[in-house]
Structure 1
Amino acid sequence: MTSEVISISPGEREDKLVWQFTTNGIYTVKSRYHLSKELECDLEGETSVKAKEKQAWKTIWKLRVTAATKMFLWRACNEALPLLANMRRREVVEHSSCLVCKQEPETPGHVLWGCIAAKDVWGQGVMKVQKLSFQSDLIFDIWSRLIEILSSEELDEVAVTMRGIWSRRNNVIHGKEFKHPTPVHQHAKAELVSYREALTEDLEVKLTAPDAAVNSKEERIGIGVLIRDHHGLVIGGLRANRTLKGIPFDAEANGLLLAAAYKKIFDEESKLGDITGSGLGTTDEEVGVGTQNDIVTQSRLLGNEEYFRSCYLVNCP
């Protein structure tokens, strides 16, 4: 039965003892020392340490910031940013000095937190952050300290600011202007406010159609007129495309004038029993409204007519 559970070597080899905590299987005092330390950590609270690490990772995904900011912070905490210190370890570059201060190796903790240029940005942000003095080359260590001190809203601002500092660093690499700390901080705050407004449940976004279709380049406008009966049903319509140089207000005025003239023609044709020319395909040339210069004059003439005193015109954007 034992031979079915443990395979026995076909050769006539003697059994031997193997120490599983070394790569070669040979027992050493050093390996026993490290093993005892690990066991002590298990007894003294390694679970609480791991719990804190898990909490640090969870706070990243619970931030009220954009997905791009969360992913950036996750990469920074995992030491996955393309920094010179990381690339030098891989023998990609020869020098790893910070591109901004030229004083220390370009590590994640230095670029986003400890560099003089980064401190100038942090000096304009959260007051609690300004008073912090701890340093580390690892962003994860810094983030773990911050979550113990700052509120959730303050952590949101820190995350967005870190990404802004990183973007400024990349601009230097690509030969762009090195931004002053003030616009970097202001842009981070504006991005945070914009994102929070987008998440507001009570925010109502309504699509507002343009008041008038104006083609400024070709100096033309588009006008649409509908005539409804007392039930609200459409009984007539007009499409108009004409030359007009002006602002949308001029186009609206022209449209109201066109609607008034068209209503009169429509009613006259209806009384005669001939409404074939007043369908949805009618054009403004058939109505005969003048150009922009004639709008005021024609409006006064139409307003003096007894017919239009009983009409109700509405501009529907």
Structure 2
Amino acid sequence: MTLSPCRSQDVLTWRCSSNGKFSVRSAYHLQGTIKEDNKGQSSEQPYFSSFWNKLWGIQAPQTTKSFLWRAAKESLATNLNLHKRKVVESPLCPICFRYLESVSHALWTCAATQDVWSKSSRRIQKLDILNGSFKVILMPFRNQLSKRELTEIAVTVKAIWHRRNSRIFKKQLQSPSQVSKQVHAEMTTIAIDKDNSKVGIGVIVRDLDGLGIASLCSSITLTPNPKIGEAIAVRATTLCVELGLSQIILEEDALNVVQTVQHKEEN
């Protein structure tokens, strides 16, 4: 447990909500989870459970893992899915215009997509071009690849989808090398080391013209939780105190942390 540097008093919290406050909704979901756990499971359930546990356990931002989960659930707004709902006229891939744009085609089997995967790590390049749903394609990878390679898969999948959307809405198609550079940049910023329970913190102080005047980076022992890491980064305001800065604008990309600071609610 992370101890507060402000010597705050201990408080009771509800572990089933993100802000520690009790709500009827969270209690309802907890009750549903308990009921499901008490039910009998099919022989396939443990097999798929291990897959989902592996997916949610990769070292990547929550938004990236959520996107990968949606892809595995076939819930992305591909042309094929939109065509079934009568939203678009054509179910074909908007890049190759040759095959139905299923999730697996958009993220894995399309020739344009394979051009991106060819820029990945060597072991990922050697993976078989499988057919079937995207979940079926992902299933073997959980045992074939390392944790970092699984993270690269997740980051690349999301980058490929953004590339696809850019082609549709901006009429621009990034080259495989451009997408590869984006993936590499994001991989270097993923700073949570779950194996050693460490979180990397990075802070930069700029003046009114945007020029950097000070920076700070450190690795601290901490429960490997992205939200807690983002909150800990706010404590870097002590650097401003050391620099004699009394009027600052604090920029933070974690919405839940920003809202907590702005509303001064206990979280």
Q: Same fold (TM over 0.5)?
A: yes
The reply on whether 1:60 has 2:55 as its aligned counterpart is yes
* Greater relative contact order (Cα < 8 A, sep 6+): 2
Do the aligned partners of residues 203 and 109 (structure 1) sit closer, same or farther apart at CA in structure 2, a change above 3 Å counting? closer
In structure 2, which of residues 114, 119, 132 is the aligned counterpart of residue 124 of structure 1?
119
Q: Which stretches in structure 2 are left out of the alignment for 5+ residues?
A: 1-41, 212-267
Deviations 1:149-187 (A, max 9, x none): 111110000100000000000001112421000110111
Question: Hey, what's the Cα distance between the residues in 2 that align with 1:144 and 1:215?
Answer: 46
Deviates more, 1:117-126 or 1:154-163: 117-126
Residue pair 2:191, 2:200 contacting (<8 A) in 1 also = no
The equivalent of 1:79 in structure 2 is 74
Do the aligned partners of residues 66 and 115 (structure 1) sit closer, same or farther apart at CA in structure 2, a change above 3 Å counting? same
Residue pair 1:110, 1:137 contacting (<8 A) in 2 also = no
- Residue 143 of structure 2 aligns to a residue whose secondary structure is coil
Please state how far the C-alpha of 1:90 moved relative to its aligned partner: 2.1
- Residue 104 of structure 2 aligns to a residue whose secondary structure is helix
- Residue 54 of structure 2 aligns to a residue whose secondary structure is helix
* Equivalent residue letter for 1:144: M
Q: Which stretches in structure 1 are left out of the alignment for 5+ residues?
A: 1-45, 217-317
Residue pair 1:109, 1:135 contacting (<8 A) in 2 also = no
Please state how far the C-alpha of 1:68 moved relative to its aligned partner: 1.0
The equivalent of 1:201 in structure 2 is 198
Aligned-CA RMSD value: 2.8
Please state how far the C-alpha of 1:63 moved relative to its aligned partner: 1.2
Question: Hey, what's the Cα distance between the residues in 1 that align with 2:210 and 2:141?
Answer: 54
* Equivalent residue letter for 2:198: E
Please state how far the C-alpha of 1:94 moved relative to its aligned partner: 2.6
The equivalent of 1:104 in structure 2 is 99
Please state how far the C-alpha of 1:209 moved relative to its aligned partner: 7.8
The equivalent of 2:19 in structure 1 is none
- Residue 87 of structure 1 aligns to a residue whose secondary structure is helix
Please state how far the C-alpha of 1:137 moved relative to its aligned partner: 4.0
Residue pair 1:112, 1:165 contacting (<8 A) in 2 also = yes
Percent of aligned positions with the same letter in both sequences? 30
Question: Hey, what's the Cα distance between the residues in 1 that align with 2:209 and 2:150?
Answer: 47
Please state how far the C-alpha of 1:88 moved relative to its aligned partner: 1.7
Do the aligned partners of residues 194 and 102 (structure 1) sit closer, same or farther apart at CA in structure 2, a change above 3 Å counting? same
